[in-house]
Copies of this chain bind each other. A is one copy, B any other.
Amino acid sequence: MAESWSFLDTVESNFRPLVVIELAKGTKEETIEWFTKRIVDKKADGGAQLLIKPLVMENGHENIYLVGASHLRLLLGAETVGLVKECNDNSMRTFTYSSRKTFKDFADDNHNFLTMAECQYIIKHELDNLRAKNEKMIPGYPQAKLYPGKSIVRRLLTSGILVQIFPLHDREELKKLRHSWYGRVRVGYQPLDEIRCYFGETIALYFGFLEYFTFALIPMAVIGIPYYVFAWEDYDKYVMFATFNLLWSTVILEVWKRICAILTYRWGTLLMKRQFEEPRPGFHGVLGINPVTGREEPVYSSIKRQLRIYLVSLPFVCLCLYFSLYVMMIYFDLEQWALDYHKENESNFSSLMLYVPSIIYAVVIEIMNRIYRYAAEFLTSWENHRLESSYQNHLILKVLVFNFLNCFASLFYIAFVLFDMKLLRQSLATLLITSQILNQFAESLLPYWLQKRHNKRMKQRTCSQKTDIDLSLAEQVNMEKEMGTYLGTFDDYLELFLQFGYVSLFSCVYPLAAVFAVLNNITEIYSDALKMCRVYKRPFAEPTANIGVWQLAFETMSVISVVTNCMLIGMSPQVDALFPDSKMDLVLTVAFVEHLLLAIKFIMAFVIPDKPRDIQIKLAKLEFESLEALKQQ
């Protein structure tokens, strides 16, 4: 390997720009010089051994740099990040430069062996791992301290010298992807493999999940339609629907794990070794010795963090929850007022008025969710978690708890305190539909429209009437750097999670919820695709093997839905009528059925293997091979 590094030359004839680095205006010359030198420097000298070129802009805007790398450098980088690729014998293996010839489609002159997203991921990884040697500070900025081993890019980012790093779009590829993704109106699967090649595994997996989830909801929707059409209100039909729903929701979550394993095996991420997790950019503390790596790095006492979590964050979350409940009570006042109004002057207008409180409440819920989201991000960031994963977990927990209560508290209250099934149905429908409309608008259409207007103005300014594809590189960079940044799949999953709640928690009261969810998800696929392709900057690809904590969140929701549905069925007048003599027997029967269903759920989750048999065999084969190789050593 040492040999192959020396082959590398930092000058290559065909420089292909992959990643854009934007430095702040007025960045000192010596800083730029030092930074670009570190990027170009040989690996042996502690550099990243990449290629970098300043971008000459027509409008004179400077400090934008294009980063690329030679083909050989990218292959060596693929080995460093531990990419897993398909071999000639159809097995998936970790790529190494020395075994490169055994990989499918590999040829020394085939520059498409690595996808553009992979190349950009490698460059990002190399830039992130560009570490300070003996520098005590960033040259030219004495306040931006460095210590041996500190990631230079992260320090540049936190001190504001580096504005952003983002990967370039590939206009040609994007056009092809757009066409096969949402260009033609058709019913069918999304081109997940193409999405993965262009946007990376995390985003492709989200779209895979969205698609799978939509298909999985179809049976529920189909069974739900006759309840609406024929106005079925019989208890036995509701019981059947709810029971089907509960078992179905367990099955779909288990089957997703299997499908996820199939997808990520094909993409190689199932086998990818977890990289050692470095501290997140925002993490700060006094310099100390990390007990794991033995390196000098900022250390922050775990007790201080616990104090921040339990003495500040927890009370704040509780306060927010209390506030959310308070708003809910106002909603019920409004609801009462609308009802009184409808009773007093009965008219078409007044019956429409009945929906107004729910709509207002739905809007308020959305607003509160969004404001809370910012607060949660701020607080979690302030808690100063060392690892990105720990930060994410705390953020997700905070957001999930609040969103769950905020969205569903009123429904729980209507169902189990007011016992008003009619209001529950109406409220559920209004909340679900309003939140779906709002989401679609706020997440995709609004940014799309803003972006379009912005582009138009930009074009007018540069007086060019070219289409996207003819733009010069400088124009393309200029346009893309102004686009919004995609902040990850968090909000998208959250939306699906809440939707899953609306569909499953009270499914036996409002079987039509699944129909709306399916309709929403079909448009969601298109609007999310639009968002990814046209509204936001291209995000860096992020390898992932599963949907992480969301699997747990969905499973928890499906457990809660067993409890709520059993309670709802137990409260229905038809079931009540079955036990005319003793309410005790009714409650005991319901409790028994609930426990039975929960037991079945857990047994099913336990019995259904998480990976399909052929994937299991392939994994066992790889494990066996590596054990054999170890023995041979």
A631 surroundings in chain B (CB, below 8 A) = 80
A595 surroundings in chain B (CB, below 8 A) = 563
Is A179 an interface residue, CB under 8 A from the partner? no
Is A6 an interface residue, CB under 8 A from the partner? no
Most B CB contacts (10 A, CB to CB) among A1, A275, A624 go to A624
A292 surroundings in chain B (CB, below 8 A) = 617, 620-621, 624
Contact A291 to B587, CB < 8 A, known contacts A80-B631, A631-B80? no
Is A633 an interface residue, CB under 8 A from the partner? yes
Within the assembled complex, what's the spacing in Å between the Cα atoms of A631 and B129? 13
Is A349 an interface residue, CB under 8 A from the partner? no
Copies in the complex: 2
Is A230 an interface residue, CB under 8 A from the partner? no
Is A417 an interface residue, CB under 8 A from the partner? no
- Of B563, B584, B617, the contact of A291 (CB 8 Å cutoff): B617
- Complex interface residues of chain A between 619 and 633 (CB less than 8 A to chain B): 620-621, 623-624, 627, 631, 633
**B591–A276 CB distance below 8 A:** no
Within the assembled complex, what's the spacing in Å between the Cα atoms of A293 and B273? 22
CB proximity of A76 to chain B, nearest CB, Å: 12
A583 surroundings in chain B (CB, below 8 A) = 583-584
A624 surroundings in chain B (CB, below 8 A) = 276, 292-293
Is A588 an interface residue, CB under 8 A from the partner? yes
A273 surroundings in chain B (CB, below 8 A) = 627
Residue of B nearest to A82 (CB): B630
A276 surroundings in chain B (CB, below 8 A) = 623-624, 627
A587 surroundings in chain B (CB, below 8 A) = 584, 587-588, 591
A291 surroundings in chain B (CB, below 8 A) = 617, 621
A1 surroundings in chain B (CB, below 8 A) = 633
Within the assembled complex, what's the spacing in Å between the Cα atoms of A275 and B583? 58
Within the assembled complex, what's the spacing in Å between the Cα atoms of A521 and B335? 63
Interface size band for A:
20 to 34
Residue of B nearest to A556 (CB): B602
Within the assembled complex, what's the spacing in Å between the Cα atoms of A595 and B567? 13
The contact string, 1 if C-beta is below 8 Å from chain B, for chain A 566-604, is 000000000000000001100110010001000000000
Most B CB contacts (10 A, CB to CB) among A588, A591, A623, A633 go to A591
CB proximity of A82 to chain B, nearest CB, Å: 8
Residue of B nearest to A614 (CB): B291
Residue of B nearest to A587 (CB): B587
The contact string, 1 if C-beta is below 8 Å from chain B, for chain A 273-310, is 10110000000000000011100000000000000000
- Complex interface residues of chain A between 393 and 416 (CB less than 8 A to chain B): none
Within the assembled complex, what's the spacing in Å between the Cα atoms of A1 and B631? 10
Within the assembled complex, what's the spacing in Å between the Cα atoms of A286 and B276? 46
CB proximity of A278 to chain B, nearest CB, Å: 11
CB proximity of A609 to chain B, nearest CB, Å: 12
The contact string, 1 if C-beta is below 8 Å from chain B, for chain A 1-21, is 100000000000000000000
A591 surroundings in chain B (CB, below 8 A) = 587, 591
The contact string, 1 if C-beta is below 8 Å from chain B, for chain A 41-71, is 0000000000000000000000000000000
Residue of B nearest to A552 (CB): B606
CB proximity of A377 to chain B, nearest CB, Å: 23
A617 surroundings in chain B (CB, below 8 A) = 291-292
The contact string, 1 if C-beta is below 8 Å from chain B, for chain A 62-88, is 000000000000000000100000000
A293 surroundings in chain B (CB, below 8 A) = 621, 624
Residue of B nearest to A591 (CB): B591
A80 surroundings in chain B (CB, below 8 A) = 631
Within the assembled complex, what's the spacing in Å between the Cα atoms of A80 and B621? 20
- Complex interface residues of chain A between 122 and 163 (CB less than 8 A to chain B): none
Residue of B nearest to A295 (CB): B624
Within the assembled complex, what's the spacing in Å between the Cα atoms of A583 and B586? 11
A621 surroundings in chain B (CB, below 8 A) = 291-293
CB proximity of A560 to chain B, nearest CB, Å: 10
Within the assembled complex, what's the spacing in Å between the Cα atoms of A563 and B583? 21
Residue of B nearest to A623 (CB): B276
**B627–A275 CB distance below 8 A:** yes
16 A-B contact pairs sorted by A residue (CB < 8 Å):
A80-B631, A275-B627, A276-B624, A276-B627, A291-B617, A291-B621, A292-B620, A292-B621, A292-B624, A563-B595, A583-B584, A584-B587, A587-B587, A587-B588, A587-B591, A591-B591
Closest 8 CB pairs of A and B: A587-B587, A292-B620, A583-B584, A292-B621, A276-B627, A291-B617, A591-B591, A276-B624
Known: A276-B624, A293-B624. 5 other contacts (CB 8 A): A80-B631, A291-B617, A292-B620, A583-B583, A591-B591
